[in-house]
Structure 1
Amino acid sequence: MPRGFGPSAGLDALRVTNAILPLESYDDRPGYDPGFVLQSHPLPLPGPGRWADDLVHLTPEARQQSRDDSELRYTHFSVRMAQSRALPLCSACNIDGSRSDHSVPRSDIWRRDPRINTGLQNLNEGYGHDHQGLFSRGHMTRRKDPNWGPPEIAQRADADTFHITNAAPQRQGFNAGIWLALEDYVLDNTDRANLKVTVITGPILSPDDPVYYNRRIPTAFWKILAFVHAGTGALTTIGYRRSQMDYLPRPAGGRFVFGDFRDSQVPVRAIAQESGLDLAAYAELDVMAGAGPEMEIRVASTADFYLSR
């Protein structure tokens, strides 16, 4: 089974729970740290952009003074969600490569978050075993990325990634190759004195998305990575888009028409246009900042990425 994806387990009661954790158990979740990669140049959580009126907000009981009530904070990552789609708009994670704990056992139990309306958290519909033609719960922040720090913190981070707020429907097999290797590749090209990366991941949500099992399924996903480049010493961002069109079953008597590459490096400005999020802080640091938003570079391996201007 590819890393980084929830199992195709909608029909497996052992891997999905309707039990809700106590609200107070989330009080110590710090969430995404804007200054994590470089304190002198903080990168904010993506702004809601055109989704401003469609954000999922914390319930009154879960709100804390002076906090953004559309930010779901977890261990080393945060999520914003779209109410109309009951899906994440983005999941932003801080990765400390020097403190990663790869020994953390997989929590493997998907659950809802008690801090928001449970009706906006689809735990089961459309998900199931891949051989039945259903979709996997696809991690946005992948399971191992926030698993760093002391063992108890790394284990809590792993469990936090299994909230359904951090998942979107994806076909098993979509999450492989470049999509999985990109964070590791960028970590290998960071300033060794600052072995840190911020990764923001999300689906491209469109009203034209195809419907399967009563759900609109996103056909593409994106990542933005921010890091201090080993060669230039500069805070740098890159954008990546991956299409799952080739993995989607075709409607009876129908076909898809599309022209984008399965894997491509794209300007952050293009991701901002397609996702509808405010990514201005990331776009100005992009290695493709000088390219038009329609520009895309087909990538066959991580070595094909441009990491500097």
Structure 2
Amino acid sequence: MPGFDRDFLGSPTPYPELTDAAAADAVPVDGADWIDYAHFSLVMSRSRRMARVVAWNIDGEALLPEDAIGRSGIRFRPDPRVPTGLQLTDELYARNDIDRGHVARRADLLWEPDAARANSDSFFFTNITPQHRDFNQASRGGLWGRLEDDLLAEARLSRQRVCLFGGPVLTAADPLYRGVAIPTAFWKLFVYEFDGAPRAQAFLLRQSLDDLGPELFPFERWKTYRLPIAELREIAGLDFGAYLTWERPLEQLAPEAPRLPLEHAIW
């Protein structure tokens, strides 16, 4: 299976390097840390039973409407290549406001060839993380998919092609729910060509878990911020050094200033 295409853009888009701790926590399949699916690949975290990082390609010019390929009859299910005990499954998601949140969005993967296979592959639990429904669902104004929607709407995006990397921020401070540590933040790195030049930008997205019980995440509600790519080594256990020269500079913020909100980002 082809998985994430590292030659999808005019410039190569290599996988990030895993830190030693992230590599030790990975769940290899057939001797490789990266597990391939149609249009995406991922690395599983053994300790957290979810993906540490997912890499996927979007061909905006070939994207099909979401209703062109149905999801009816496709169940969320474990990937048989990964031990079931190392995947979070349905028990976590019953009778609460936690969604089975796709890391690589189903809507991003529906392009030919292999659109039907990508649609089905997106429902493996290896591509799913616990996301509050207000964070995940577009019908509720969820943040998770708005970033790529906004980027694909930009006319100067070369060939409407984007490579994405994303995943949860896994920390020892994540609150426990049903015995599972729930991430309170997620990140995305976008790599693309804009006006013919390669660019990369990272974002940090926070989700609130207030509705799941007291003291889970009692602070800020939904926020989306630009994030220096170099910081992904610390928060994600991944080294994206290959993309540092492509990064759009952050605005002139004082060191103590908050991250740049999404609405002020300049592609």
TM interval, shorter chain, is: 0.7 to 0.9
Residue of structure 1 in register with 2:101 after alignment = 138
Residue of structure 2 in register with 1:83 after alignment = 46
Distance in 2 (alpha carbons) for counterparts of 1:193 and 1:290: 24
Residue of structure 1 in register with 2:160 after alignment = 195
Q: TM-score, normalised by structure 1?
A: 0.76
Distance in 2 (alpha carbons) for counterparts of 1:267 and 1:260: 22
CA RMSD of aligned residues (A): 2.4
Distance 1:272 1:258, change over 3 A: farther
Q: Radius of gyration: which is bigger?
A: 1
Query: What per-residue deviation string (whole Å, max 9, x for no partner) do you get for residues 187-206 of structure 1?
Result: 23365652210111100000
Residue of structure 1 in register with 2:190 after alignment = 225
Q: CA deviation at 1:134?
A: 4.7
Distance in 2 (alpha carbons) for counterparts of 1:182 and 1:255: 26
Gaps of 5+ in 1: 1-28
Q: CA deviation at 1:96?
A: 0.6
Q: CA deviation at 1:256?
A: 4.4
- Residues 1-309 of structure 1 mapped to structure 2, 5 A cutoff: 29-38=1-10, 41-49=11-19, 50-58=21-29, 63=30, 69-102=32-65, 103-107=68-72, 108-128=74-94, 132-150=95-113, 153-175=114-136, 176=138, 177=141, 178-189=143-154, 191=156, 194-230=159-195, 233-245=196-208, 247=210, 249-251=212-214, 254=215, 256=217, 258=219, 262-288=223-249, 296-299=259-262, 301=263, 304-307=264-267
Q: Are the aligned partners of 1:56 and 1:83 in contact in 2 as well (CA < 8 Å)?
A: yes
Gaps of 5+ in 2: none
Distance in 2 (alpha carbons) for counterparts of 1:279 and 1:290: 21
Distance in 1 (alpha carbons) for counterparts of 2:22 and 2:116: 32
Q: TM-score, normalised by structure 2?
A: 0.87
Over the matched positions of the two proteins, sequence identity in percent amounts to: 34
Query: What per-residue deviation string (whole Å, max 9, x for no partner) do you get for residues 2-29 of structure 1?
Result: xxxxxxxxxxxxxxxxxxxxxxxxxxx2
Distance in 1 (alpha carbons) for counterparts of 2:118 and 2:59: 13
Q: Are the aligned partners of 1:48 and 1:55 in contact in 2 as well (CA < 8 Å)?
A: no
Question: For 2:204, what is the secondary structure of its paired residue?
Answer: strand
Query: What per-residue deviation string (whole Å, max 9, x for no partner) do you get for residues 35-60 of structure 1?
Result: 1112xx311122221301110111xx
Distance in 2 (alpha carbons) for counterparts of 1:171 and 1:183: 19
Aligned AA (1:47): E
Normalized per residue, the structure richer in strand is 2
